[in-house]
Amino acid sequence: MYNSFVNKIAITMGEPGGIGPEVIVKSLSCSDIRDYCTPIVIGNAGILQEAVKLAGLTLKVQPVSNVLDVKPLKGTIAAIHVKSPSRFKKGAASKNAGRAVVQYIQRAVEMALKKEVKSIVTAPLSKESLKLAGFQWRGHTELLAELTSTKDFTMMFVSDKLKFVLSTLHVPLRDVPGMIKEKLVFKTIVLAKRGAEMIGIKKPRIAVAGLNPHAGESGLMGKEEMRAIIPAVNNARKKGLNVSGPYPPDVVFYKAYNGYFDIVVSMYHDQGLIPFKMLAFDSGVNVTVGLPIIRTSPDHGTGFDIAWKNIANPSSMLEAIKLASKLRLSTKH
């Protein structure tokens, strides 16, 4: 059991027109969530109260101005109200939503850097809303890295069935082969170790996926393995990391799922996300590795097609909050 009042967690409301407000209030209605932490939502109190009404809950949203005003009162949701545009489109991206989401994140990061909260959990945002608002970030991860002046970072996905990190993030698939360099793969292997340590695995067995079918088949199906991935794995071994590969992508996730490895280094977004979401669509959690703060999020998006219909599943958000209460920052290597 955790000291829940000391274990304060900031939860950003995310895209107002998406399922973020709904999955947050549903998660905070769970009877055991306050055994893990004292949650503090950063967002629009009026929108949160509307989500409470939509979900048929009896919770009351309690606006507060800062962390010191938060009281662990049963039946209430503490919300630091960030003055932001309240008009938005339900079930669609919008410029106002993009502006608001960035304000929520900026406030949460500020709180985390000042040690006012232990960690942050971010409800999904829309990349289209960010673009409409004039921002260039591809998503949460890149925004958080800029706000914390972090250069080396990646996305780690966590479930009880599979764990992996990404070498490349939100980039077009056609750009991936040119990005697979020895330096990048080595850095990601190191981040995989740090990520595994954050979740309590002290000496992780790291597997590296190939980029090409059959992991390149000794150069017959691609040269990236020989030019970049194998040298990176060998270098990491020399540094004392328990890493092996590259393995054929169609094999490595199966082996990790069956306990041969603790974490996989994936070369690109969908290579890892497809098997992961097949296994843990409703329970997977995204963790940003490399930041000076702890950040988790559900592994799903804004869900515009089901937003504000009271049908969104809060399981992934609930797991993200619980995991955020348990994680510890890993030291750099």
* Buried b or exposed e, range 87-106, using 16+ CB within 10 angstroms: ebeeebbbbbbbbbbbbbbe
Torsion of CA 169, 174, 179, 180, to 10 degrees: 90
In the chain, how long is the greatest CA-to-CA distance?
Answer: 63
* pLDDT (0 to 100) of residue 1: 42
Do the domains 1-150+292-333 and 153-290 sit in the same CATH topology, yes or no? yes
- Look up the pTM and report it: 0.93
For residues 24 and 124, is the Cβ–Cβ distance under 8 A? no
Q: Dump pLDDT digits (tens) for 100-156.
A: 999 999 999 999 999 999 999 999 999 999 999 999 998 899 999 999 999 999 999
* Assigned CATH class of 1-150+292-333: alpha beta
* pLDDT (0 to 100) of residue 332: 55
Which residue, 163, 181, 192, 186, is CA-closest to 273? Answer: 163
Helix residue ranges, H only, 114-153: 127-132, 140-147
Task: Determine how many CB atoms are found less than 10 A away from the CB of residue 46.
Answer: 13
Q: How far is CA 36 from the centre of its chain?
A: 19
For residues 133 and 102, is the Cβ–Cβ distance under 8 A? yes
* pLDDT (0 to 100) of residue 89: 83
Cis peptide before 246 (omega within 30 of 0): yes
Hey, what are 61's tokens? Answer: 């949203």
Q: What residue ranges do the domains of the chain occupy? A: 1-150+292-333, 153-290
Write the DSSP string, 273-286: HHHHHHHHTTT-EE
* pLDDT (0 to 100) of residue 333: 42
Which residue, 312, 287, 234, 328, is CA-closest to 55? Answer: 312
Angle between helices 45-54 and 20-28 (to 10 degrees): 70
For residues 190 and 289, is the Cβ–Cβ distance under 8 A? no
Residue found under tokens 């967002």: 43
* Assigned CATH class of 153-290: alpha beta
Element containing residue 76 per DSSP (H, E): strand 76-81
Pairing mode of beta strands 154-158, 76-81: unpaired
pLDDT tens per residue, the chain (333 residues)?
445 546 899 999 999 999 999 999 999 999 889 899 999 999 999 999 999 999 999 999 999 888 877 877 778 999 998 876 667 789 999 999 999 999 999 999 999 999 999 999 999 999 999 999 999 998 899 999 999 999 999 999 999 999 999 999 989 999 999 999 999 999 999 999 999 999 999 999 999 999 999 998 888 889 999 999 999 999 999 999 999 999 999 999 999 999 999 999 999 999 999 999 999 988 999 999 999 999 999 999 999 999 999 999 999 999 999 999 999 986 554
* pLDDT (0 to 100) of residue 86: 60
For residues 79 and 52, is the Cβ–Cβ distance under 8 A? no
Q: Dump pLDDT digits (tens) for 278-293.
A: 999 889 999 999 999 9
Q: Is 224 exposed, middle or buried (0-12, 13-18, 19+ CB in 10 A)?
A: buried
